[in-house]
A and B are shown apart, each in its own frame.
Chain A
Amino acid sequence: MREVYLDHAATTPVHPEVAELIQEYLVRTYGNPSSLHRFGRRARAALEEAREQVAEALGAEPEEIVFTSGGTEADNLAIRGAALAHGRPGHIITTRVEHHAVLHTCEALEETGFEVTYLPVDRHGRIAPEQVAEAIRPDTVLVTVMLANNEVGTVQPLAAVGEICRERGVLLHSDAVQALGQLPIDVGQLGVDLLSVSGHKIYGPKGIGALYVRRGVRLSPLMYGGGHERRRRPGTENVPGIVGLGKACELAVRELAARARTMREMRDRLVEGIQARIAEVVLNGHPTERLPNNANLCFRYVEGESILLGLDSKGIAASSGSACTSGALEPSHVLMAMGLSHELAQGSVRFSVGRLTRAEDIDYVLEVLPPIVERLRNMSPLYAERGRARQAGSPPGEG
């Protein structure tokens, strides 16, 4: 069966050049970077080269990069590490549309006495920088605002938030896991003190990420052990993962413009194609301030997961942030924060294209998707009731 992968926001295939390098460091250059001998020295050299590659991709200095097990650990290290270093409960500011790695970390800190302000967003999923300025208190320890949203792709006005935080002397962290490889990132320009990235979203391996820590920022470690990573993250370094992340960063920087152009073209072809073929489809997120790979769409009167099952049966991979999958029976917190109705939020599907997505892939989706939605609408009581409401001359309800 034809297979089309449009779930790059979930994870990406490892780039062949990256895979080749990882293989080398698994099998041949296997030394422990802490060892004195030549095996260790070779691994150490590779580790430091990767650190330079990651730093280069973020506009940082190599010694400001701490390798972690992924984006989630980087977020935890940034937020809990800053909170612990503060030494006593304080105030944290974040947004309602953060990834759970940030939200649940903030919630856990609330249990220990921290107070957290969750900033609301507009209907496009954006905060206004002034909201941060108004929320900062004398005891505010940290502001954490994602660079781009994982569900709807909305890009936050982070540089403006950074300016405010610098002015007020408050630490700023940003989860840039989805943004890396899609937007140019410069920590100096953004004015962030801490920034999280992950390998597997940029054609690198899973289980590796990094945290940028601006020189001079005090951060307590979350784990104790050896003195690795400038005492911020103990444990023998994941050398194959780290060289993979380094290489993936190098490629992402080199190919950034070309990848973004391809993704934007494919994404627009998909969105325009769907809107031309299927009625009552809503594009979620910001119309322009969004990641080039993301298309998050609501198909009214049907539920997202049932669309995914239909697509999967035709070999197409997409995702939904919807209820049933999480077991929580709650629709996406991001779409709800944007003010969507429950009914609409349940019907959302996220397509995320990648660097290798081609027009034929999109055209296959455009051929397969309309009958799937039509079939589900034809068995939806909400669709039937809306039809009747129209016939009776009353305006269709919001549901």
Chain B
Amino acid sequence: MDHFFNPRNVGELPNPDGVGRVGNPVCGDVMKMEIKVADGRIADIKFMTFGCGAAIATSSMVTEMVKGKTLEEAMAVTNRTVAEALGGLPRAKLHCSNLAADALHRAIEDYRSKAAGSQ
């Protein structure tokens, strides 16, 4: 609940290194994560979410979990670890945690493909 009422890392980054946007209004949630990467680690991360309370809380939790972590560590974050970190989610809300992890992974992939392209 705290992550819903006081979400961490809400917003957008100036010139993000990677952007991940998942979901659509049809399925009920839209999440966007933006990352700044330095020395192979997530130096900064911000999110924007359209969705229910659980969607907002999982987004916030993911950003806290991976800030300062290496990209490999961040890629290892799964839907389950996010839900566990929040103390469990009701069954109907599990898809929200899926989206949060997916958005993060998408942002990292975006960063990696941009990095590969600029080499």
| Complex-state Cα separation, A384 to B5, whole angstroms | 20
Asked if residues B4 and A329 are in contact (CB atoms below 8 Å), the reply is no
Q: Is the CB of B48 within 8 A of A381?
A: yes
- A384 / chain B contacts, CB cutoff of 8 Å: 12, 48
Interface string of A388-399 (1 = CB under 8 A from B): 000000000001
Query: For residue A313, which residues in chain B have a CB less than 8 angstroms away from its CB?
Result: 5
Q: Check: B109 CB closer than 8 A to any chain A CB.
A: no
Answer yes or no: A346 CB below 8 A from chain B CBs: yes
- Whether a CB of chain B sits under 8 angstroms from the CB of A26 is no
Contact string against A for B residues 46-82, beta-carbon threshold 8 Å, 1 for contact and 0 otherwise = 0111111111100000000000000000000000000
Instruction: Give the contact stretch, choosing among B22-30, B36-44, B111-119.
Output: B22-30
Bound-state CA distance A379–B7 (Å) is 10
- The answer, yes or no, to whether A306 is at the interface (CB within 8 Å) is yes
Asked if A327 contacts B49 (CB within 8 A), the reply is no
Of B11, B27, B30, most buried by chain A (CB within 10 Å of CB) is B30
Is B31 a contact of A381 with CB atoms below 8 Å? yes
Name the one of B11, B29, B32, B91 contacting A303, with C-beta atoms under 8 angstroms: B29
Cβ–Cβ < 8 Å partners of B50 in chain A? 301-303, 343, 380-383
The answer for the CA separation of A343 and B27 in the assembled complex, in Å, is 9
Residues of A within 8 A of B21 (CB): 381
Closest to A377 in B: B50
Complex Cα distance, B48 from A51, in Å, reads: 56
Chain B residues with CB below 8 A from A322, complex form = 28, 52
Task: Using A329-B95, A379-B7, A384-B12 as known contacts, say yes or no to A323 and B28 having CB atoms under 8 A apart.
Answer: yes
SS class, residues of chain A in contact with chain B: helix
Cβ-defined contact, A382 with B25, below 8 A: yes
Instruction: Evaluate contact between B25 and A342: CB separation under 8 angstroms.
Output: yes
- Encoded as 1 (CB less than 8 Å from any B CB) or 0, chain A from 353 to 390 comes to 00000000000000000000000001111111000000
B interface footprint on A235-261 (CB within 8 Å = 1, 0 otherwise): 000000000000000000000000000
B25 partner, pick from A305, A324, A343, A378, beta carbons under 8 A: A343
Chain A residue at smallest Cβ distance from B4: A309
Interface: A341 (CB within 8 A): yes
CB pair A324 B10 closer than 8 Å: no
Most chain A Cβ neighbours within 10 Å, of B5, B25, B27, B96? B25
Q: Is the CB of A324 within 8 A of B52?
A: yes
Interface residues on chain B, number (Cβ under 8 Å): 30
Task: From the candidates B7, B25, B92, name the one contacting A327 in the complex (CB within 8 A).
Answer: B92
Chain A residue total in the interface (Cβ 8 A): 26
Rounded to whole angstroms, the CA-CA distance of A378 and B7 in the bound complex is 12
Q: Which of A306, A324, A341, A381 contacts B32 (CB 8 A)?
A: A381
Residues in A with CB closer than 8 Å to B32 are 381
Complex contacts, A378 vs chain B, CB 8 Å: 10
Residue pair A306, B51 in contact (C-beta under 8 Å): yes
What is the minimal beta-carbon distance from B16 to any residue of chain A, in angstroms? Answer: 13
| Chain B residue at smallest Cβ distance from A328 | B92
Residue of A with least CB distance to B7: A379
A331 at the interface (CB under 8 A from B): yes
Query: A380 to B10, Cβ gap below 8 A?
Result: no
Contact of B28 among A331, A379, A382, A399 (CB under 8 A): A331
Question: Is A306 a contact of B25 with CB atoms below 8 Å?
Answer: no
**Smallest CB–CB gap between B22 and chain A, Å?**
10
Question: Are A323 and B26 in contact, with the CB atoms below 8 A?
Answer: no
1/0 per residue A215-236: CB within 8 Å of B? 0000000000000000000000
List, in ascending order, chain A residues with CB within 8 A of B11's CB: 379
Alpha-carbon distance A284/B91, docked complex (angstroms): 30
Chain A residues, Cβ within 8 Å of B7: 379
Interface bits A301-318 vs B (CB < 8 Å: 1, else 0): 111011001000100000
- Known contacts A306-B56, A341-B25, A343-B25: does B49 contact A379 (CB below 8 Å)? yes
In the complex, chain B residues whose CB is within 8 Å of the CB of A324 = 28, 52, 54, 92-93, 96
Binding site for A on B (CB under 8 A): 4-5, 7, 10-12, 21, 25-32, 47-56, 91-93, 95-96
Given contacts A322-B52, A329-B28, 19 further A-B contacts (CB under 8 A): A302-B50, A303-B52, A306-B51, A306-B53, A322-B28, A323-B28, A324-B28, A324-B92, A324-B96, A326-B92, A329-B95, A346-B25, A379-B7, A379-B10, A379-B49, A381-B49, A381-B50, A383-B50, A399-B25
7 pairs, A vs B, C-beta closer than 8 Å: A322-B28, A323-B52, A343-B50, A379-B7, A379-B11, A379-B48, A381-B49
Across chains A and B, which 5 residue pairs bring their CB atoms closest together, nearest first?
A343-B25, A327-B92, A381-B48, A305-B52, A324-B52
